[in-house]
Amino acid sequence: MSKNTLVALVVVVVVALGIGYWLNNRSAQETAQPRVTGVLKVGSDVTYPPFEFVDEKTNEFKGFDIDLINAIGEVMGKKIEIVNTAWDGIIPGLLNGNYDALISAMTITEERAQAVDFSDPYFATGQVIVLRADNTSIRTPKDLEGKVVAVQIGTTGDFEASKVKGVKKIARFNTTPEALQEVLNGAADAAVVDELVAREFIKKNPGAVKLAEVGVFTVEYYGIAVRKGDDELRKEINRALATVKASGKYDEIYNKWFGTETTAAKSE
């Protein structure tokens, strides 16, 4: 083999390696395209009015969380793309990269914080007990002993109901509306759910269901979740959330969906 031929072969190999490196980098950049092009994919279980739900007339996603994340996205200069996903797969979907963040009326808990990182709290709420209107036997969580209690699986309502000793049965459902319907149908004695979701259900079923006398019996805070170690996005969301609050936009969104009906305090 001549010297010139050897040099030519070396050049070809170098060029080929360079093209391969460029293609690999291009592929990686395309994979991360949503973040680069200003699109933020956000997972949400859109079955949880008034926080997130599908408008039956327009088929659009609506609710407090939807308005809030869109306001946050506007401050961040990003278009928000909501990805509707079932609650039991919402955190695995985030970890799998199906979306960049999630907002779904998710309470910040130590257990969840082991899997994801949370933004600053954006809402304060608590659990309540929903009963049929004629039920006078349940006033506090202790009175759930010997009763059938409906919950959405994997929620803080599920966790609280599980703490009560002597519950006859915990009926777990994929969505909170299903759990509440179980009470309305008489198949469950009570449901343990977030306060404002309960109030929305009571509003739609006047005279049929009510809150137990104890009222709100826990204090919880919702957060926006991102993948572990995604500090840049978490900090960006926190800065945008602070701006939304300082500008008065948060209060505007809050009053639109809740007014003064709730006993739970807003997250300041």
pLDDT-derived band of residue 237, with 50, 70 and 90 as boundaries?
very high
Residue 142: pLDDT above 60? Answer: yes
Residue 5: pLDDT above 90? Answer: no
Over range 203-221, report the average pLDDT. Answer: 97
> Which CATH architecture best describes the domain 33-124+221-257?
3-Layer(aba) Sandwich (3.40)
The pLDDT assigned to 266 comes to 58
Least confident of 125-129, 157-161, 261-265: 261-265
CB-CB neighbours of 153 under 10 Å: 16
Over range 189-197, report the average pLDDT. Answer: 97
Higher pLDDT, 107 or 7: 107
Residue 50: pLDDT above 60? Answer: yes
Identify the CATH number of the domain defined by range 127-211. Answer: 3.40.190.10
The answer to whether domain 33-124+221-257 and domain 127-211 are alike in fold is yes
Kindly report, residue by residue over 103-125, the tens digit of the pLDDT.
Answer: 999 999 999 999 999 999 999 99
The pLDDT assigned to 24 comes to 44
| Residue 64 C-alpha from the chain's centroid | 11
Cα-based torsion angle of the residue sequence 7, 11, 12, 14 in order, rounded to the nearest 10 degrees: 140
Residue 6: pLDDT above 70? Answer: no
Over range 80-92, report the average pLDDT. Answer: 97
> Is 204:180 a contact under the CB 8 Å cutoff?
no
pLDDT-derived band of residue 267, with 50, 70 and 90 as boundaries?
low
The pLDDT assigned to 259 comes to 87
| Integer Cα distance of 76 and 70 in angstroms | 10
| Integer Cα distance of 151 and 171 in angstroms | 6
Burial of residue 258 (number of CB atoms within 10 Å: 0-12, 13-18, 19+):
middle
| Integer Cα distance of 36 and 39 in angstroms | 8
Domain ranges of the chain: 33-124+221-257, 127-211
pLDDT-derived band of residue 37, with 50, 70 and 90 as boundaries?
low
Nearest to 188 by CA among 134, 131, 149, 142: 149
The DSSP result for 152-167, as a single string, is ETTSHHHHHHHHSTTB
Average pLDDT of the residues of the chain: 87
